[in-house]
Structure 1
Amino acid sequence: MKKETYYSNGKLLLTGEYLVLNGTRSLAVPTKFGQDLEITPALGKKIIWKSYDADGSIWFEAEILFDAIIEKTTFTEDKVKNTLVEILHHAYLLNPEFIENAEGYSIDTILTFPRFWGLGTSSTLINNLGQWLNINAFELLKNSFGGSGYDIACAQTNQSIIYHLEDEKPVFETVDFNPEFKEHIYFVYLNKKQSSKSAINNYLNKQFSLDKVKSKIDKITEFVSETNDINDFMAALDKHEILLSDVLEQLTVKESLFPDFKGTVKSLGAWGGDFVMVVSKENPLFYFSSKGYETILKYEEMIL
């Protein structure tokens, strides 16, 4: 077997964060950044694993015996290794042949974005494993890491999508989200990595009556995916922020960090970290950089 290489797109969820878990229709976009997976045959009935960050540095490495994958061994105080073993264990349950019929592997993962950006380090890995092992990546995600699966849909789709869960199964269609005012859309990194898993758990621990909110978010999702009026787009996103603020009982990111900003600031994914989407008729680069936020990407730099 020669070296095999697979690639998956990163993701951003523009509408429906959290509520996507409850079946809300959500607008998601694949990014120009993603992750490669390279597999080379090896020996020793083990996997020699190395994970590379975007700058070429190794951020994680380990040797994992096949037996540890089969038995889902837990390693003391090594959360990353434990998470990886759990993912590989569930991959094994879905396709035992990759362990039973192999002598070993050398596996490298290579991110094209800094791993703290929150663009899908886990989802791109899971989708790449799905491609390699010919297993359902949505099922692998559900069994191992959890989540709605929109990130898996983005990993394997090169267009924007409207995504929702129906009877806990993923349903999505591609949309031509390409607003005429995209030169006024920016993505600003808040210098704080959020854990998707803990954010999801916190959300699920809250008990809501969500039907009215879901229907409103559904309409906003449809609207922002189609409109080419920047004022209407900004107003819809502002309304979305207020609705989610009420559900989560949190201040919006604009209220908490940027109350004097003349434009829209929309949380993406887990509130309080990762990227926000900024829509502004005036160039916002000086405003955010003066507040210490140096990672600012234009729409065309971020979105596939």
Structure 2
Amino acid sequence: MKKEFYSNGKLLITGEYVVLDGAKSLALPTKFGQNLIIEEAQNDLIHWTSFDADGSIWFEDTIPFSSIIRKERFDDAKNIKNTLIEILSEAYKLNSDFITKSRGYTIKTELTFPKFWGLGTSSTLINNISQWLQIDAFTLLRNSFGGSGYDIACAQNNSAILYQLINEKPKIENIVFKPNFTENIYFVYLNKKQNSKLAIASYYNKQPKVFKIIEKINAFTNTIIKTESVKEFAEALKKHEIEMSLVLELQTVQEILFHDFIGVVKSLGAWGGDFVMVVSKENPTEYFNEKGFEIVIPYCEMIL
């Protein structure tokens, strides 16, 4: 019998990095996500195929049940396979039935966004596997990839959320976030995917400075979700970016790449890659295209 599951992609609008230390963060699920399709098979193994948004195969391999049980690791050339085995092995510890009560599977994943966009290839997979096996997705994330879990919350919710870690446990509040100036908001892809694990590791080196700014970040988040003024919205984003720049000891993306842009550019998630959010009076597509950034997506086409 075929089983199908779906999870939403994500964008973290405020609180990047400091969400790990308890900052209140605004996160938005996207209209893009990932499907997981499972069928029974034989031979005590999983035949796994992952499809990109254009229908091309970006990963295909077979994984014996024994590799999952032992958490077998292959050489670095099989890095995707190793990651998948790690996730499935941790899932096995939480619910072994999918191995002990089955003879095998044919599994497909289908992204509805290009893999390189960084909208949550891993988080949507972890949430889909958790739905399939009826285990807690936040636990599976913590035991495998790590991270704050805001991406799992987006995978599970169809509206904007305020996300906060309190005593290392997620607090999720669904909110209505429909500013009357969404036509002024765009998302621009920076032509490279950022490694979240490496970015988080680098952030932890700066951690002594963090607690001084959490209250400021929380205040910016509160302004951003409540204001009906595009000017106040943009100003809060700009101040947020400056505070994070001081903590991370990095220039803002606007200073580095878009210093002549009339409007505000804010990093989302790990700095230096993936998408940025842009607030502009006019459609900024031509400006970014001329600088070599061809993927410019209006708010209404990106956000669920």
**TM-score in terms of structure 2 length:** 0.99
Structure 2 residue identity aligned to 1:34: G
Q: Does 1:24 align with 2:20?
A: no
Matches within 5 A, 1:83-122: 83-122=83-122
Q: Unaligned 5+ residue runs, structure 2?
A: none
Contact 2:209 2:247 in 1 (8 A): no
Structure 2 residue identity aligned to 1:255: E
> Could you say what secondary structure the match of 2:209 adopts?
coil
Please report how far the alpha carbon of residue 65 of structure 1 lies from its aligned counterpart in structure 2 after TM superposition. 0.3
> Could you say what secondary structure the match of 1:126 adopts?
helix
Please report how far the alpha carbon of residue 282 of structure 1 lies from its aligned counterpart in structure 2 after TM superposition. 1.4
Task: Tell me which residue corresponds to 2:56.
Answer: 57
Please report how far the alpha carbon of residue 209 of structure 1 lies from its aligned counterpart in structure 2 after TM superposition. 3.1
**TM-score in terms of structure 1 length:** 0.99
Task: Tell me which residue corresponds to 2:137.
Answer: 137
Write the distance in 1 (CA, Å) between the matches of 2:277 and 2:207. 28
Task: Tell me which residue corresponds to 1:272.
Answer: 272
Contact 1:51 1:58 in 2 (8 A): yes
Q: Unaligned 5+ residue runs, structure 1?
A: none
Task: Tell me which residue corresponds to 1:171.
Answer: 171
> 1:139-172 deviations in whole A, cap 9, x for unaligned?
0000000000000000000000000101111111
Write the distance in 1 (CA, Å) between the matches of 2:204 and 2:13. 20
Task: Tell me which residue corresponds to 1:69.
Answer: 68
Task: Tell me which residue corresponds to 1:14.
Answer: 13
Task: Tell me which residue corresponds to 2:81.
Answer: 81
Structure 2 residue identity aligned to 1:122: S
Alignment RMSD: 0.6
Write the distance in 1 (CA, Å) between the matches of 2:209 and 2:257. 29
Structure 2 residue identity aligned to 1:256: I
> Could you say what secondary structure the match of 2:213 adopts?
helix
Contact 1:208 1:247 in 2 (8 A): no
Task: Tell me which residue corresponds to 2:40.
Answer: 41
- Identical amino acids, percent of aligned pairs: 61
Write the distance in 2 (CA, Å) between the matches of 1:229 and 1:266. 17
Structure 2 residue identity aligned to 1:11: K
Write the distance in 1 (CA, Å) between the matches of 2:211 and 2:244. 13
Write the distance in 1 (CA, Å) between the matches of 2:270 and 2:280. 22
Task: Tell me which residue corresponds to 1:147.
Answer: 147
Please report how far the alpha carbon of residue 205 of structure 1 lies from its aligned counterpart in structure 2 after TM superposition. 2.6
Contact 1:23 1:164 in 2 (8 A): yes
Task: Tell me which residue corresponds to 1:233.
Answer: 233
Question: After TM superposition, where is structure 1 displaced by more than 2 Å over at least 4 residues in a row?
Answer: 209-212
Write the distance in 2 (CA, Å) between the matches of 1:212 and 1:175. 27
Structure 2 residue identity aligned to 1:63: T
Structure 2 residue identity aligned to 1:249: E
Please report how far the alpha carbon of residue 71 of structure 1 lies from its aligned counterpart in structure 2 after TM superposition. 0.3
Contact 2:190 2:274 in 1 (8 A): yes
> Could you say what secondary structure the match of 1:251 adopts?
coil
Task: Tell me which residue corresponds to 1:222.
Answer: 222
Please report how far the alpha carbon of residue 130 of structure 1 lies from its aligned counterpart in structure 2 after TM superposition. 0.6
Aligned residues: 303
Task: Tell me which residue corresponds to 2:292.
Answer: 292
Write the distance in 1 (CA, Å) between the matches of 2:283 and 2:89. 48
> 1:213-250 deviations in whole A, cap 9, x for unaligned?
00000011111011110000000000000000000000
Write the distance in 2 (CA, Å) between the matches of 1:72 and 1:180. 50
Write the distance in 2 (CA, Å) between the matches of 1:282 and 1:103. 57
Contact 2:4 2:37 in 1 (8 A): yes
Structure 2 residue identity aligned to 1:88: L
Structure 2 residue identity aligned to 1:108: K
> 1:11-42 deviations in whole A, cap 9, x for unaligned?
00000000000010000000000000000000
> Could you say what secondary structure the match of 1:210 adopts?
helix
